[in-house]
């Protein structure tokens, strides 16, 4: 039987919804098939196994995430502007996909350590030549001398945590969804100001 691309896409979209909602260990191929409106045999014909389908889904999620974030570093803008846009894009991406940080952390912590390499996250960073740009800016005195790992930790912790911790923060402060969205908009600007001022202390951007 010839494979139909629309059926394949339908299965991937259904699997993404189920995996994000329940995780890899919390769902079955039958649940994915039901969400896609088809039988298990057809799902297995297209994707062989739940594990294979999961790898494809999580790779697709990370690829979209990486493409959205790292593309800006290929531009001719000054690095300080690229970092500001990076933060803005990450907040905007996560505002539209707030479930992704928790999903990736929960699921990737259960996978083999090499899985990030398989999905091309590191390749996306290398392709954007981020490390080279950071070293050049630091040598010119434009950027504070911090290694790339800690720069990434600063960026990711300040942008991802508000979405991961959302249920806890809303519960502690009795904040509804709309009010929390307002706080996130304010927080995005606070994070931009704080990180740009810290990483680029001599910048005249602000």
Range from 58-72, 172-186, 188-202 carrying the lowest mean pLDDT: 58-72
Range from 78-92, 98-112, 161-175, 181-195 carrying the lowest mean pLDDT: 98-112
pLDDT tens digit sequence for 105-136: 777 676 654 555 555 667 777 778 899 999 99
Higher pLDDT, 124 or 31: 31
Are 83 and 37 found together in one domain? no
Are 190 and 99 found together in one domain? yes
pLDDT of residue 106: 75
Question: What integer is the mean pLDDT of 92-113?
Answer: 75
pLDDT of residue 59: 78
Question: What integer is the mean pLDDT of 132-155?
Answer: 94
Is residue 206, in this structure, part of any structural domain at all? no
Are 10 and 105 found together in one domain? no
**Which CB contacts under 8 angstroms, 24+ apart, belong to 9-17?**
10/36, 10/37, 10/38, 11/36, 11/38, 11/42, 11/43, 11/46, 11/47, 11/53, 12/53, 12/56, 12/57, 12/60, 15/47, 15/53, 15/54, 15/57, 16/57, 16/60, 16/61
Work out the percent of the chain whose per-residue pLDDT is above 90.
48
Is residue 14, in this structure, part of any structural domain at all? yes
Is residue 145, in this structure, part of any structural domain at all? yes
The domain spanning residue 77 has which CATH number?
Answer: 1.10.357.10
Are 43 and 94 found together in one domain? no
Are 139 and 92 found together in one domain? yes
Are 179 and 120 found together in one domain? yes
Are 63 and 32 found together in one domain? no
pLDDT tens digit sequence for 68-82: 677 888 889 999 999
Say how many domains are in the chain: 2
- Report the mean per-residue pLDDT for the chain: 85
Would you say the pTM of this structure is higher than 0.85? Answer: no
Is residue 204, in this structure, part of any structural domain at all? no
Is residue 54, in this structure, part of any structural domain at all? no
Higher pLDDT, 55 or 121: 55
Are 77 and 172 found together in one domain? yes
For residue 21, give the 3-state DSSP assignment: helix
Are 41 and 63 found together in one domain? no
pLDDT of residue 202: 86
pLDDT band at 101 (very low <50, low <70, confident <90, very high): confident
pLDDT of residue 159: 92
Q: Print the domain residue range for 34.
A: 1-48
The domain spanning residue 35 has which CATH number?
Answer: 1.10.10.60
Are 170 and 102 found together in one domain? yes
């Amino acid at each position: 039987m010839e494979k139909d691309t629309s059926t394949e896409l339908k299965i991937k979209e259904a699997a993404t919804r189920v995996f994000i909602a329940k995780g890899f260990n919390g769902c079955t191929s039958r649940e994915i098939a039901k969400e896609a409106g088809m039988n298990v045999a057809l799902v297995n014909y297209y994707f062989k196994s739940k594990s294979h389908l999961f790898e494809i889904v999580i790779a697709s999620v990370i690829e979209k995430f990486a493409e959205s974030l790292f593309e800006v570093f290929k531009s001719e803008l000054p690095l300080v502007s690229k970092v500001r846009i990076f933060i803005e894009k990450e907040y905007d991406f996560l505002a539209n996909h707030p479930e992704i940080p928790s999903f990736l952390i929960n699921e990737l912590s259960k996978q083999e350590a090499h899985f990030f390499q398989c999905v091309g996250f590191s390749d996306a960073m290398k392709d954007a030549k981020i490390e080279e740009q950071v070293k050049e800016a630091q040598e010119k005195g434009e950027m504070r001398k911090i290694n790339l790992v800690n720069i990434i930790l600063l960026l990711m912790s300040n942008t991802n945590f508000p979405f991961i911790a959302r249920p806890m923060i809303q519960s502690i402060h009795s904040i509804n969804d709309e009010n929390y969205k307002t706080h996130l908009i304010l927080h995005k600007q606070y994070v931009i100001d704080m990180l740009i001022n810290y990483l680029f202390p001599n910048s005249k951007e602000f």
